[in-house]
Structure 1
Amino acid sequence: MSAKDILKTATRALRVNKGRTVLTMLGIVIGIMSIILVMSIGQGAQDLILGQIQGLGSRTIVVHAGRQPTGPTDVTSLFADSLKERDVEALKKKSNVPTLESVMPMVFGADSAIYGNEKYQVTIFGGTELAGKIFDISVAEGNFVTSDDVASAADVIIIGSKVKNELFGIESALGKKIRIKDKNLRVIGILPKKGQVSFFNFDEAVLLPYTTAQKYIFGIKYFNELVIQADSDATVSQTARDAEMTLRNMHSITDPEKDDFYLETQVDLAQRVSSITDILTYFLAMVAAISLLVGGIGIMNIMLVSVTERTREIGLRKAIGAKNRDILTQFLFESVILTCLGGAIGIFFGIILSIFGAVVIGYFLGQAWPTGISLFAIILGFCVAAFIGIVFGIYPARRASKLNPIEALRYE
């Protein structure tokens, strides 16, 4: 028999029991749909995070206080006090880091902001006048922090759009004072609604001079991070090496294993995030693929039932000249058609759910969530579906092909 005849025969056999065919495909549909959905959401998360990393700029190097975490539960660096003002001054010296353009100390934390009877939990960022350039933010109303504000530890603050709405409503916030801890801070600027920027949601944050935050809010004399800008993309690696050497000299460290700080370029961070999201995405996809195993077993069972029901048909076909290969190919075709059709339907619904999921996630996050549907995921879905059809269809097909035609014709 030609491949065309075998395909027509297999398709006709599947149409005879439409209800059973649909129910058999259901496990494959759900499995492929789950894989597409998980991979899409994972890719969307990766695209979003990498976009936020790139928002810092390719010339950015972040110096974190404390040793590099050994895992996601290692939070010792959050309490490290290894980065001080003298480190900033040393980094600014051209003799130490010739390719450095700027360095900004950062402190951060969380506390309640109070205005009148209103109270709202905010993220607190202490930085300098460079924060606007580094994070690509500007005020919608009022003024930004200045170098004079930093030098004098001025009691000024810039608030995010949501903070403004929660504390002041429709009332003007400029010039008013809000209280954090026991310090009254005058609102000099309001940020536009922007959502997440480089891991920070400035809508729910406040920004003030780091000197003010250190002195009045956190009561510390160290920094959580230093944000360094190289003078060009080509000098990022050299800037990072020089900064690392300078800090080791400042901290009297000769053994790199004893570093009390660590540096990350945007390339380093992007690679680390990509690795983490890839591992998580593929792990979840494997979990979702368990339903494919169930679907494959269901297909094998139904194909075995089909072989039993069509025993006389198989015997008759063999009696008029059909070879074992023809019978095996026909039943294998039926299995693969079932799984590939289920795969196509699963891919379709997976894409629809991915788009819908991106909209829902974006709504709850307050920002656009990328729809990360890739051609790789679609091709993978088809390939997995075909593979399931072959693996779970081969046994029923071989069983059908080995039936004795005389015994098959006697079967009642």
Structure 2
Amino acid sequence: MFNRDRWQEIFQTISKNKLRTFLSGFTVALGIFIFVILFGLGNGLKNTFESFFLNDATNLIWVYRGRTSMPYKGFKSNRQIEFKNDDIADIKYNFGMYMDYISPGINRNQKIKYKNEYNNYSIQAIAPGYQFAEKVYLMEGRFINEDDTQNQEKYTVIGRLVRDDLFGKKSPLGEYVDVGGSMFKVIGVFQDDGGDNEERRIYIPYTTRQLMDKNTDKLDQFVIGFKPEIGYTGAMMFEEKLRQFLKDKHQIHPDDRRGIFIRNVADNLQQNQQFASVLQIIVTFVGLGTLMAGIIGISNIMVFVVKERTKELGIRKALGATPRSVIAMILQESIFITTIAGYIGLFAGILILNSLGVTLEDYFIKNPYIDMQTGIFATVILIIFGAIAGYIPARRAARIKPIVALRDE
């Protein structure tokens, strides 16, 4: 392997056969390059899927009020279900063992004004737990806390785009904005990976919203963060018990599917994970198929290369070279060319993927990438099979008698 004379001989052979060397290396580099690009694009597709479906917490149950579709216990159908604060208290009392937090929600769209700047935004009246449900990340200040809800404080946390619209580059912390005729102090600025719509919201304490709505205790919805350790089965059981509890409390027929709507993210998550697994399988098969194509290409090239050198090998054997030394020389040359070309293809593919970034988002491919370990593993596999592809015809050629090899045309 470290024989100086052999390396000199290999470099001389390469320099005298530039076209053959180039074609061999190009086949290897192209195989790895295509593998890296296709595998990276597949990962970019997975990134888009995750940003669409997995940008919020995954241990959530959302509960929405609806209208009944069936009469029950003296109540007529088409009755609007009303959630109130005591629903939150009752759920905490009866299902505390399943829950990490619960946050009510009241949704409004109103004009928000700061000095001469104003626009309409979505106002979410919530409790502190909502920060974890929506995976809200604070850029400045703090989020709504329990003291704010208990004291009905007129505090607000605004989205990044709301800040840009109303305040420009100025920090909004401590400033007051007009929310539906009431002045609210800005205590925080948040960002949300869910996108622009999420960052055009403002959050206020739900109790303050109720105070503004003539001191009512009504709620539009609530979200429950269940304990992840209960798993998928526990989450589905919790959903069923919660549904039955709310139907009993609000006098809804057991078979009525429209009085209350429950969305269990655990169920959606399982479906999304199954879809993500299918994507992973597709990406893997694409990668394996590309590697197989590369291996076949290398094999064909190596068969041609050895065949072309049959007369040369005959001369070497006539001069006293052993079959073992002939095979070792061809293998060393094959591994050297395959290694150099393989890593050129690998780094070229990674460079292309890194330059793409979000430019392919319109085609549902976001931040394509490939793990360096995966790329190196694929390159090593190609090198190994390149060596095998060189060994088999080299071994066959080394067995040919010198006189037969010298007659080869």
**Superposition pairs of residues 206-355 of structure 1, within 5 angstroms:** 206-208=202-204, 223=221, 226-228=223-225, 230=227, 240=235, 243-250=238-245, 251=247, 261=262, 263-264=264-265, 279-281=278-280, 283-284=282-283, 286-287=285-286, 292=291, 295-320=294-319, 327=326, 330-350=329-349, 352=351
- 5+ residue gaps, structure 1, are 67-81
Name the structure 2 match of 1:384: 381
Aligned to 1:70: none
Change (3 A) 1:327 1:349: same
Between structure 1 and structure 2, the one with the greater Rg is 2
Aligned residues: percent identity? 22
Distance 1:396 1:24 in 2: 15
Partner of 1:85: 83
> 1:335-377, CA deviations, whole angstroms, 9 ceiling, x for partnerless residues?
34332322233344455556x459x459x9xxxx999775641
Shift of 1:380: 1.6
**Separation (CA, whole Å) in 1 of partners of 2:195 and 2:81:** 21
Kept after mapping to 1: 8 A contact 2:110/2:123: yes
Quote the residue 1:76 is aligned against: none
Classify 1:167/1:303 alpha carbon distance in 2 versus 1 (closer, same or farther; 3 Å): same
C-alpha deviation, 1:168, in angstroms: 4.2
1:63 maps to what in 2?
Answer: 61
| Contact 2:302–2:389 (8 Å) recurs in 1 | no
**Partner deviation per Cα, 1:281-316 (whole Å, 9 max, x = no partner):** 563464366655554455344434433432321222
What is the alpha-carbon distance in structure 2 between the residues aligned to residue 331 and residue 83 of structure 1?
A: 81
2:176 counterpart letter in structure 1: G
Q: Cα gap change, 1:93/1:109 in structure 2, threshold over 3 Å: closer, same or farther?
A: closer
Deviation at 1:406, TM superposition (A): 2.4
Query: Relative to structure 1, is the Cα distance of residues 374 and 294 closer, same or farther in structure 2, using a 3 angstrom cutoff?
Result: closer
Q: Give the CA deviation at 1:409.
A: 1.0
Residues 272/5 of structure 1: CA separation in 2 closer, same or farther (3 Å cut): farther
User: TM-score, with normalisation over the residues of structure 1?
Assistant: 0.60
> Does structure 2 conserve the Cα–Cα contact (< 8 Å) formed by 1:91 and 1:97?
no
In 1, the alpha carbon distance for the partners of 2:278 and 2:272 equals 10
Task: Note closer, same or farther for the CA distance 1:405–1:237 as it changes in structure 2 (3 Å cut).
Answer: closer
Give the equivalent residue in structure 2 for 1:165. Answer: 164
| RMSD, aligned α-carbons | 5.8
Give the TM-score, by structure 2 length.
Answer: 0.60
Residue-pair matches, total: 364
Alignment of 1:350-389 (within 5 A): 350=349, 352=351, 356-357=354-355, 360-361=357-358, 374=371, 376-389=373-386
C-alpha contact (below 8 Å) 2:35/2:290 kept by paired residues: no
Gaps of 5+ in 2: 65-79, 248-252
For residue 104 of structure 1, give the secondary structure of its aligned residue in structure 2. strand
Structure 1's 305 and 324: CA in aligned 2 closer, same or farther, altered over 3 A? Answer: same
> 1:165-215: CA deviations, max 9, x gaps?
13443578643347xxxx67865426436453xx567544433456969x9
Is the contact made by 1:300 and 1:396 (CA closer than 8 Å) also made in structure 2?
no
Matched, 1:189 2:190: no
Structure 1 distance, partners of 2:4, 2:107, is 71
Q: How far apart in 2 are the matches of 1:10 and 1:291?
A: 29
